[in-house]
């Protein structure tokens, strides 16, 4: 018979679930574009359910290199993401209340798979937008793939990609799901 998780582990999982839901209210990722004509930079800010920032200006500029426009409709996963996150939060919360160690591994596994799929999806979209350029665009540019994190130069633009508040909250939630492994190590 498997032993129940401690109260400390249960509280850590409850905090993890709360952090997951909290992350929905903050942007997860962003990209800032700098150029001589935009020294203050232009932003694309990605929330788990919508895009924000200087989308119209960036789309107007991207037209010149033949890049597909950024829009909420460009990312079919956006309308479902909040439900997936809430679903994971409910699962983590249930594991916390049931206090079964075997279920803890399921929660950690689901969280890990979700994170891997999320990073893969970001990389896939960045590749699609940067490599599927319209050959009839006014400015011919070699295909490129912006990094998920870091700096990239495209023509006269320098871009900086970065995780932001929501992603850090997700990271904290993941750590909170791992804490029970440490708390239960002697059992």
Is 174 contained in some domain?
yes
Q: What is the pLDDT of residue 140?
A: 87
pTM surpassing 0.85? Answer: yes
Is 138 contained in some domain?
yes
**How wide is the angle at C-alpha 159 spanned by C-alphas 156 and 162, nearest 5°?**
175
Q: What is the pLDDT of residue 10?
A: 95
**How wide is the angle at C-alpha 128 spanned by C-alphas 127 and 129, nearest 5°?**
95
Structural domains in the chain (count): 1
When pLDDT is averaged across residues 74-81 and rounded to a whole number, the result is 92
How high does pLDDT run on average in the chain?
Answer: 93
Is 93 contained in some domain?
yes
When pLDDT is averaged across residues 73-93 and rounded to a whole number, the result is 95
The predicted-structure confidence for 21-77, as pLDDT tens digits, reads as follows: 999 999 999 999 999 999 999 999 999 999 999 999 999 988 889 898 989 998 999
Please state, in angstroms and rounded to a whole number, the distance separating the CA atoms of residues 14 and 50: 27
Is 45 contained in some domain?
yes
Is 109 contained in some domain?
yes
Q: What is the pLDDT of residue 49?
A: 94
- Please list the alpha-helical segments (H only) found in 25-100: 55-63, 78-98
When pLDDT is averaged across residues 126-130 and rounded to a whole number, the result is 91
Q: What is the pLDDT of residue 108?
A: 96
Q: What is the pLDDT of residue 126?
A: 92
Q: What is the pLDDT of residue 1?
A: 44
Is 1 contained in some domain?
no
* Residue 43 CA, distance from chain mean position: 16
CATH of the domain at 138: 1.20.140
Q: Residue 100 is part of which domain span?
A: 7-183
Is 104 contained in some domain?
yes
Is 57 contained in some domain?
yes
Please state, in angstroms and rounded to a whole number, the distance separating the CA atoms of residues 143 and 121: 19
């Amino acid at each position: 018979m498997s032993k129940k998780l401690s109260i400390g582990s249960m509280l850590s999982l409850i905090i993890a679930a709360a952090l997951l839901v909290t992350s929905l209210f903050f942007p997860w990722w962003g990209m800032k574009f700098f150029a001589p004509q935009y020294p203050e930079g232009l932003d694309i800010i990605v929330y788990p359910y919508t895009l924000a920032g200087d989308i119209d200006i960036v789309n107007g500029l991207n037209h010149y290199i033949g890049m597909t426009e950024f829009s909420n409709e460009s990312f079919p996963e956006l309308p479902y993401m909040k439900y997936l996150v809430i679903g994971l939060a409910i699962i983590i919360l249930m594991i916390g209340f049931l206090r079964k160690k075997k279920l803890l591994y399921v929660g950690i596994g689901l969280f890990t798979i979700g994170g891997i799929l999320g990073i893969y999806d970001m990389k896939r979209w960045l590749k699609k937008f940067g490599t599927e350029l319209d050959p009839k665009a006014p400015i011919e540019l070699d295909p490129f793939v912006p990094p998920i994190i870091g700096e990239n130069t495209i023509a006269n633009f320098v871009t900086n990609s970065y995780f932001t508040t929501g992603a850090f909250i997700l990271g904290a939630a993941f750590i909170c799901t791992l804490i029970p492994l440490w708390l239960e190590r002697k059992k």
